[in-house]
């Protein structure tokens, strides 16, 4: 059974002749000449030009809402013909169609970053709520590997609804509207039939509304339910951290940074961006630094590079080196510039890092291993010179070459590297 249509497309037509349902009916008729065209970027450009040519005379706010609905309809017309659904998994989009989808997603995002002109008439308010209903319905119908309309839903609320005087009023009614989107129980069976993607999207949408209502515990509980699903994608998460940063809600931001860590730990996520949010939070809440280190350690090994970068930023040289040695990292995996902070502030700590890696490469017992070892030895010689311990370096090299004197390939590489005469 399909989710209930909350756009009221069968309701009585408005006396002024304008409603979102009427707009979509007219747009679909206007697109009939393009019906057989391949869904590519050329199609989206033609469709956009065609529909905007037929834009009725509207107030400034209604014009903006009309353009958004044009983009939404074109997006749907690109996706729908290519999504013959088997279960909940769509057939793969062709290359040119995928480009068209990306183009439409970019246009939708750009449209929702534009300010919504003041709602001057009752008609404007009605068009806004009808557009929200349409986005909600289409969002819940999206297949599992698409989330453009879920992103639209987040942005629509953030950019256009919440700044309104009646924004909080609409927000308060949204949880009921989401719940009413769930199909009713089927007669005599006592079950609801909904797709997996519907359930996942519904949980994320509910979590976002709880967040906007300031009900963080409920928002996080609902978000965790979504994250526990096998079909959860981190890309679908609302960017609540960006909103908290923009609103300068620093204590609340720390709470969300801590709470999101277990979710991010189980998924591939943009952890460096997450780290940047921690930096902003600590700048305003210095007492939260201890929480940051606890969280970053909990993200290992997935967040290893983020953890390393933070250790260097905060001058925790010993902890950085302990992590490198314990995880078997190789200095060859770092650019010289990346190790510069440690080289400038605690160069002696790099010595065991290089020595351990040299021995690891030597254990390969082949020319490639010897070449890698010699590269590290050359950097090691510069380190000993920097800390003014050339004598220790000479003693080490004398022992090293003597221990491996029978390895002809190594001796050749050492001479090429000008480490021995």
266 in any annotated domain: no
Residue 254 inside a domain? The answer is: no
* Residue 149 is assigned to a structural domain of this protein: yes
Number of domains, the chain:
2
Q: Which two tokens stand for residue 269?
A: 């996520």
**244 in a structural domain:** no
DSSP string for 322-382: HHHHHHT--GGGS-TTTTHHHHHH-GGGHHHHHHHHHHHHHTT-SHHHHHHHHHHHHHHHH
Distance CA 363, CA 29 (A): 72
- Both 231 and 351 in one domain: the answer is no
Same domain for 227 and 355? no
Kindly state whether residues 231 and 367 are assigned to the same domain: no
* Residues 207 and 59 occupy one common structural domain: yes
Contact 116, 127 (CB under 8 A): no
Is the pLDDT score of 83 beyond 70? no
Give the structural domain span for 384.
347-416
Whether the bond between 2 and the residue before it is cis, its omega within 30 degrees of 0, is no
Indicate if 65 and 213 belong to the same structural domain. yes
CA atoms within 13 A on the CB side of 52: 14
Residues 356 and 232 in one domain: no
**Residue 245: inside a domain:** no
pLDDT of 188 strictly over 70: no
- Residue 177 placed within a domain: yes
Q: What value does the mean pLDDT of the chain take? A: 88
Contacts of 332 (CB under 8 A, 6+ apart): 357, 372, 375, 376
d(CA 212, CA 372) in angstroms, rounded, equals: 54
pLDDT at 3: 44
Q: Is 201 exposed, middle or buried (0-12, 13-18, 19+ CB in 10 A)?
A: buried
Q: What is the pTM of this model?
A: 0.84
Residues 375 and 230 in one domain: no
Q: In angstroms, rounded to a whole number, what is the distance separating the alpha carbons of residues 45 and 318?
A: 57
On whether residue 307 sits in a domain, the answer given is: no
**CA 210 to the chain's CA centroid:** 20
For the record, the structure tokens of 130 come out as 């009808």
Summarize pLDDT for 226-241 with one digit per residue, the tens: 999 888 877 888 999 9
- Among 236, 269, 304, identify where a domain stops: 236
68 in Cβ contact with 112 (< 8 Å):
yes
Determine, yes or no, domain membership for 88.
yes
pLDDT one-digit tens code per residue, 274-307: 999 999 999 999 999 999 999 999 999 889 999 9
The whole-number pLDDT of residue 80 equals: 75
């Amino acid at each position: 059974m399909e989710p209930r249509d909350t756009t009221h497309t069968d309701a009585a037509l408005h006396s002024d002749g304008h409603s979102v349902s009427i707009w979509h009916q007219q747009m679909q008729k206007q697109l009939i000449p393009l019906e057989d065209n391949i869904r590519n970027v050329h199609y989206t450009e033609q469709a956009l030009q065609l529909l905007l040519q037929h834009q009725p005379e509207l107030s400034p706010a209604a014009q903006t809402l009309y353009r958004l609905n044009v983009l939404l309809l074109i997006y749907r017309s690109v996706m729908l013909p290519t999504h013959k659904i088997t279960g909940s998994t769509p057939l793969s989009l062709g290359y040119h169609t995928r480009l068209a989808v990306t183009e439409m997603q970019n246009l939708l995002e750009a449209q929702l970053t534009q300010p919504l002109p003041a709602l001057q008439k009752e008609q404007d308010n009605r068009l806004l709520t009808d557009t929200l209903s349409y986005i909600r319905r289409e969002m819940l119908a999206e297949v599992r590997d698409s989330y453009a309309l879920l992103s639209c839903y987040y942005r629509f609320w953030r950019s256009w609804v919440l700044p309104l005087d009646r924004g909080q009023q609409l927000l308060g009614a949204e949880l009921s509207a989401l719940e009413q989107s769930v199909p009713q129980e089927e007669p005599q069976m006592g079950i609801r039939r909904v797709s997996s993607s519907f359930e996942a999207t519904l949980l994320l949408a509910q979590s976002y509304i709880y967040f906007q209502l300031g009900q963080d515990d409920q928002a996080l509980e609902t978000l965790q339910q979504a994250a526990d699903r096998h079909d959860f994608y981190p890309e679908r998460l609302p960017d609540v951290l960006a909103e908290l940063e923009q609103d300068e809600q620093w204590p609340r931001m720390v709470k969300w940074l801590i709470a999101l860590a277990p979710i991010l730990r189980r998924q591939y996520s943009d952890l460096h961006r997450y780290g940047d949010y921690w930096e902003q939070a600590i700048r305003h809440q210095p007492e939260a630094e201890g929480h940051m280190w606890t969280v970053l350690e909990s993200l290992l090994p997935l967040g290893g590079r983020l953890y390393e970068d933070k250790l260097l930023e905060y001058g925790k040289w010993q902890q950085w080196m302990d992590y490198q040695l314990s995880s078997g990292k190789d200095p060859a995996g770092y650019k010289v510039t990346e190790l510069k902070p440690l080289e400038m502030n605690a160069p002696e700590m790099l010595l065991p890092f290089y020595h351990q890696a040299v021995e690891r490469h030597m254990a390969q017992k082949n020319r490639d291993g010897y070449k890698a070892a010699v590269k590290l030895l050359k950097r090691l010689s510069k380190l000993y010179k920097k800390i003014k311990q050339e004598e220790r370096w000479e003693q080490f090299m004398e022992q090293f070459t003597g221990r491996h004197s029978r390895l002809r390939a190594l001796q050749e590489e050492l001479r090429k590297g000008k480490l021995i005469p």
